[in-house]
Structure 1
Amino acid sequence: MSVATAASPEPRPSLTTPFTYAVFRAIWLASVVSNIGTWMQNVAGVWLVTTLTTSALLVALMQTATSLPSFLLSMPAGAIGDLIDRRKLLLVSQSFMGVVAFLLGGLTLAGEVSALGVLAFTFLLGLGAAVNAPIWQTVTTELVPRPVLPFAITLNGVSNNIARAIGPAVGGVIIAYYSPGYVFLLNGLSFVATWVVVYRWKRAETVTNGPAENFTGALRAGLRYVQYSPAIYAVLVRTFAFSFGASAMWALLSVVTARRLLLSSGSYGVLLSWLGAGAITGAFLMGRAGHRLSFNQRVLLGTLVFVGTNVGLALIPSVYWLYPLMFLSGIAWLMVMTSLSTTVQLHVPKWVQARVVSIYMLVFQAGLSLGSIVWGELADRANLPLALLLAAGWMLLSLLLALPFPLRPAENLDFTPAGTWPVPNVHPDIDPDDGPVVVMVEYQVAVANQPAFRQAAAQLTRLRLRDGALRAGVFTDLGRPECIIEFFYVATWGEHERQHQRFTRDDAQIRAQVRQFHTGTTPPRVTHFLAFPKSANVEVATNVENMQGQQ
C-alpha cells in the first residue's frame, strides 16, 4: 500500500524572486542604465542652461519642460498603451528619445545650441518619457506571476533610486572635466541599450475577439473604470493626499539647507544621498519582512514618518540629525510609493491597465506639483518652518482617509476573462457602431428576498457601468411584484460586445450571487433592443387633430 505524500508548499516569493525570470532581469538592468542616463541628462541640462543664460526664469523652466509633457500626454499615452502592442510602443518611444539625445549632444559639442534650444530638446525628451512611463510600468505585470508582482514593482523603485544616487554624480564629473554634450550622448546610448533589450523580448500575442476600441472611446472607458472601481478610487485619493504633503520635503529641502542651516550645495547633495540610501535599504527590508504588513499599514506607517520628516526639517538645528531622518524618509518613500503602485496594478485587468496607471501617475504628479506651489508660497509669504509644520499637519490629518478609503487586498482577485457570457447571435447586417443598445434581464424573485436581491444587484449594476454601460438600474413590475427587470443602456453594439469580453471570473461570481435569488424554472430571460440605425431614438408626438384631419 502506498502512502500519499502531501505536496510541499511553494516557497514564499522574496525580493530576489523576480530576478529568476530572465526577461524581467534583462529589462530591469536596462531600466537601471536608462534611469542613470536620465538623471545625468537632468544635471547636464540644468547646468548647460545655467551657463548659457543669466535668466533665472529659463533655468526654472527646465523643470517645467520636464514635467509638462506628463500632464499633456499621460492619459492619452495610457489609452494608446491599451490599444497598440506595448512592445512596439516602447521601441518607438526609446528610438525617439535616443535620436533627441544624440541631436542635443551633437549640437552641444558643436557649440550650436542655445538656452531655448536646450529647453526645446528637454521638452521633446519629456514627450517621449510621458508616452513611455505608463507603458513601462504595465509591462512588469507581463514579466512575472501575480504573487511576485509586489517585489518586482519594489525593484523598479530601487532601480530609480540607484540611478538617482549614481546619475548626478557621474554626470557632474563628466561636466567638470569634459562637456555636457558627452553626457547627452551617453544618455542616447542608454536608450539604445534599452531598445536592444526590448527588441529581443518576444512578447506573447494579445488576442481580442470583440471589435477594436477607438482612441476617444478608450479614454472614456479608462475614466469610467476608475469612477466605478472603489478600490482604484481609494488609491487615487490616498495618492494625492500623500504626494501633496510629501512634496514639502522635495520642494523645500534645498531651502532648508541653504537658508535655515546656512550650508552649501554639497550638504544638500549629501542629504539626497542619505534619502536614496534609505530607499534602497527599504526595498530589502520589505523583501524580508514586508509580508507582515498590509499595503494599508505600510502607507499609514510611511505617512507617519513623513509627518516627522516635515517637523524635523522645520525644527532640527543640526544637519547631522537630518542625515538619519533623511534615511528613514527614504525607506518611507519607497514603502508608500510601491504600496500605492502595486495596489493599483493588482486591481486592474489587462485591457484597461495602462489607462488606469496613467491616471494614477497623473494624480501623483498633480499632488507633487500643486503641493510644491502651496508650500513654497507659504514659505515665502509666512516663513519656512510654518510651511513645513502645516505640511506635517496635513499629512497627520490625511491618516483619517484610511477609514473611508482603505487600500483593499487584491491577492484573491481573478481578472481572467470568464467566458461565461456569450455574445448573442444577431443579424449579420448589424454594424458595431449601431446603437444605442438596451439590454434587459428578467428575474423572478420572491418578495421576501427582494431586499437582499437589490443589495446584490447594486454590485452588478456597478460592474455594468464600469465596463461600458451609460445607464443601469433595477425595476419592479407593479402588476407582477415578483418580476424584476435589470436593464443597462450601452452606446453601441460594439461596446456591448466589448462588455462581454471584459467580464471576468470575479464578475461572474457577483452575477451568480444575483441569480441565486431567481426562482423561475428557466434561466432569467435576456432581451436585447437596438435602436433603428440612423433613426431618432424617441419619436416626437404628433398633434392628434392634425392626424385626424389627414385621415
Structure 2
Amino acid sequence: MRTLRLPRLSSLRAFDHPGYFAVWVGALVSTIGTWMETVAMGVYVTEATGRAEWTGGIVALTFLPAVVLSPVGGALADRFDRRTYVALGTLVQLVLAAVLTLLAFTNRLSVPVVGVISFFHGCASTLINPAFAAMLAELVPPRDLHSAMSLNSAQFNLGRIIGPALAALVLSMGGTSWALLVNTLSFVAVLVALAQVKALARRTAEARQGLWKQIAHGFSVARGDPEISLMLWGTFLVAGLVAPFIGLVPVFAIRVFGQGAAATSLLVTCQGAGAVTAALLVGTLVDRWGQRRLLGIVATSIGVVSTLYWLSPTLQMAAVVIFVLGANYMMLMSGMHAYCQSRVPRELQARMSSLYSMVLGGAYAAGVWGLGALADRLGIRFVTVSASVLFIALVLTLRLLRPRRFDTAEA
C-alpha cells in the first residue's frame, strides 16, 4: 500500500516509494550540514590565505580521490549489501567531521589541517557515492530512475539553499566551530534513514568474479557503448570548464564584490534554488522533448549562462544569473548520470555511477584548482570567462561535426 500521495508531476514519481523518500529526507539533512561546512571552510580559507589558489586547492582535495577510488567504490558496491556499505561510509564521514569540529572548538584549526581532512572526507565520499546512487536506483522501478536521480540532485541543491543561509546565521552568532558541529550531527539523519530501508540483495555471483575483473568489466562496458562514452566526455568538459563556478563562489564574492560570508551564502543559495526549480520541471521537459534532446539544449546553453555569470557587474545580477546557471547545471549533470545508468543492467549501475563520479571528480578537481591558480595571476573574471567561452566553442564544434548525437539515440 502506498502511503505517500504527492502531486502527479512526473518529476516526483520516485517519492511514491517510501524507502526512497526516507533516504531522500535523511540525505537532505546531511546535505544541509555539509553546505554549512562548505561555506564556513570556504570563507575561512579565503580570508586566512587571501588566495583563490588555496580556496580552489582545498575544494580540489575533496574531489581528487575520485580519480583513483571511484572505480574501486563502484566495484565494492556491486559486491556487498549497499545499505550496510553506505552506513559504514557515513560513520567514517561522521568521525572526520567530529575531528574537524573538535579542532575548531579548541582553536587548533589551520588551512593545512582543513586540507588533510578534506582529502580523507573526499576518499570516504568517493567510496560510498556509487553505492548510494545504485541503492537509490534499486529503491525505484526503472521507469522512475530519471525522477530518482533528479530528486537526488534536488535534495543536494535544496541543502545548498538552506545550508548557506543557516551557515551565515550560525557564523554571525557562534562562529565556525558551531557550523561544523551542526554538520557533524547531520550525519545521524542518514543512519536513521538507512535503518528504515530493507537490506538489498547481495551479488554473490559478481563477488566471485574478483574485484579487479569487476572494475575492468565496468570500463569495458563504458568504452564499448558510444552513448555512455559521449556522456562521460560531456561530464569531463562541464566539470573542468564550467563547474568550478561552484568552488570559486567565495573568491568571486570576496574579491570581485568585496563581501564575505553573506554574499557567498546568497550566491550559493541562489544556485541551489535554481537547481531545485529545475528538478521540479525536468520530468515534464523530458516527457515533452526526450532526454537526449533536452541534454543537447542544456549543454549548448550552459556555457553562455556561465559567461554571463562571471561578467555580472553587480552582486544582485550575479545572484539572478547563478539561479539560471544552477538550473542548467542540475539538468545537465543529473541527466547525464541517469542516462549512463539507464543503459546498463542493475548489477552494473554502481560501477557505471563510479565512472561518472571518477570523471566528474577528477575534472572538477583539476578545473577548480587550475582556474583558481590562474585567477591569482590573471584575474578571476578573465580566467573563468575564457574557460566558459572555450566550453561554448567545443560544444558548438561537436554539434557541427555530429549534430545527430545531440537529438537522437534515445535510451
- In which range does the TM-score fall when normalised by the shorter chain? 0.7 to 0.9
Structure in which a larger fraction of residues adopt helix = 2
* Match runs of 1:294-305 below 5 Å: 294-305=290-301
Q: Matches of 1:167 and 1:91 in 2, distance apart?
A: 22
2:288 corresponds to? 292
1:359 to 2:359 alignment: no
Paired residues of 1:306 and 1:329 also in contact (CA < 8 A): yes
Aligned match of 2:228: 232
* Structure 2 counterpart of 1:24: 20
- Tell me what 2:208 maps to: 212
Within-5 A mapping of 1:382-461: 384-385=381-382, 388-389=385-386, 391-401=388-398, 403=402, 405-406=405-406, 408-410=409-411
Question: What one-letter code is carried by the residue in structure 2 that aligns with 1:398?
Answer: V
Residue-pair matches, total: 398
- Does the 8 Å CA contact 1:158/1:280 hold for their aligned counterparts? yes
Alpha-carbon deviation of 1:182?
3.2
Alignment of 1:236-315 (within 5 A): 236-247=232-243, 249-250=245-246, 262-265=257-260, 266-313=262-309, 315=311
SS at match of 2:125: helix
CA contact (8 A) 1:314 1:389 kept: no
Please name the residue that 1:86 is paired with.
82
1:124 matched to 2:120? The reply is yes
SS at match of 2:20: helix
Give CA deviations for 1:341-383 in whole Å, capped at 9, x if unaligned.
1101101112222112111111122333344456556656666
Shift of 1:123: 2.7
Displacement after TM superposition at 1:114 (Å): 4.9
Question: In 1, are the aligned partners of 2:242 and 2:391 still within 8 Å (CA)?
Answer: no
SS in structure 2 opposite 1:161?
A: helix
Q: Which amino acid aligns with 2:301?
A: V
Q: Does 1:222 align with 2:223?
A: no
Residues in 2 aligned to 1:199 and 1:259: alpha-carbon distance in whole angstroms: 45
Question: What residue identity is the alignment partner of 2:298?
Answer: G
Cα distance in 1 for partners of 2:369, 2:107 equals 35
The C-alpha deviation readout for 1:493-514, integer Å capped at 9, x for no partner, is xxxxxxxxxxxxxxxxxxxxxx
Please state how far the C-alpha of 1:264 moved relative to its aligned partner: 2.6
Distance 1:175 1:318 in 2: 24
Pairing 1:51-70 to 2, within 5 Å after superposition: 61-70=57-66
CA apart distance, 1:395? 2.0
Give the C-alpha shift of residue 256 in structure 1: 5.5
Q: Distance in 2 between matches of 1:271 and 1:104?
A: 25
Cα separation, partners in 2 of 1:59 and 1:340, compared to 1, 3 Å: closer
C-alpha distance in 2 between matches for 1:96 and 1:370: 25
CA distance in 2, matches of 1:14, 1:103: 42
Q: What is aligned with 2:148? A: 152
Q: Supply the RMSD in Å over aligned alpha carbons.
A: 3.1
Q: Deviations over 1:51-83 (max 9, x none)?
A: 8x6685766643243222323321211111112
Report whether the alignment pairs 1:39 with 2:39. no
Partner SS state of residue 236, structure 2: helix
**In structure 1, C-alpha distance between the alignment counterparts of 2:384 and 2:308, rounded to whole Å:** 12
210-219 vs 140-149, which moves further: 210-219
Provide TM-score, normalisation by structure 1.
0.65
Change (3 A) 1:342 1:135: same
Q: 94-103 or 396-405: which moved more?
A: 396-405
The farther-off stretch of 149-158 and 179-188 is 179-188
The match for 1:142 among 119, 135, 138 is 138
Question: Retained in 1: the 8 A contact 2:34–2:183?
Answer: yes
Q: Which amino acid aligns with 1:401?
A: L
The separation in 1 between residues aligned to 2:175 and 2:264, in whole angstroms, is: 24
Aligned to 1:74: 70
Quick check: 1:378–1:387 contact (8 Å CA) kept in 2?
Answer: no
Indicate the residue corresponding to 2:183 in structure 1.
187
| Counterpart-to-counterpart distance in 2, 1:272 and 1:58 | 19
SS of the equivalent of 1:217 reads helix
Structure showing greater Rg: 1
- 1:324 correspondence with 2:320: yes
Structure 1 residues without counterparts, runs of 5 or longer: 1-10, 411-551
What SS does structure 1 have at the residue aligned with 2:10? Answer: coil
C-alpha separation in 2, matches of 1:186 and 1:325: 30
Aligned residue type for 2:14: P
Contact 1:307 1:396 in 2 (8 A): no
Between stretches 58-67 and 230-239, larger displacement belongs to 58-67
SS at match of 1:34: helix
Q: Which amino acid aligns with 1:408?
A: A
Hey, what does 2:4 align to over in structure 1?
Answer: none
Offset of 1:233 from its aligned partner? 1.1
The answer to whether the Cα contact below 8 Å between 1:248 and 1:388 also exists between their aligned partners in 2 is no
* Shift in CA distance, 80/274, structure 1 to aligned 2, threshold 3 Å: same
How far off is 1:33 after superposition? 0.6
Which position in structure 2 is the counterpart of 1:105? 101
Find the aligned partners of 1:372 and 1:118 in 2 and give their Cα distance: 17
2:57 and 2:387 mapped to 1: Cα distance? Answer: 27
Shift of 1:164: 0.9
Q: Which has the higher contact order (CA 8 A, sep 6+)?
A: 2
Identify the match of residue 172 of structure 2 among 159, 171, 176: 176
Q: Is the 8 A contact 2:59 2:365 kept in 1?
A: no
- Give the counterpart letter for 1:78 in structure 2: G
Q: Look up the equivalent residue of 2:184 and give its one-letter code.
A: G
AA aligned to 2:409 is R
CA distance in structure 2 between the partners assigned to 1:78 and 1:91 by the alignment = 15
Question: Cα–Cα, structure 1 residues 150 and 67, in superposed 2: closer, same or farther, change >3 Å?
Answer: same
Letter in 1 for 2:135: V
Unaligned runs of at least 5 residues, structure 2: 1-6
Counterpart amino acid of residue 361 in structure 2: Q
Paired residue type of 2:227? A
Q: CA deviation at 1:146?
A: 0.8
Tell me by how many angstroms 1:267 deviates: 4.1
8 Å Cα contact 2:83-2:194 kept in structure 1: yes
Distance in 2, matches of 1:387 and 1:139, equals 36
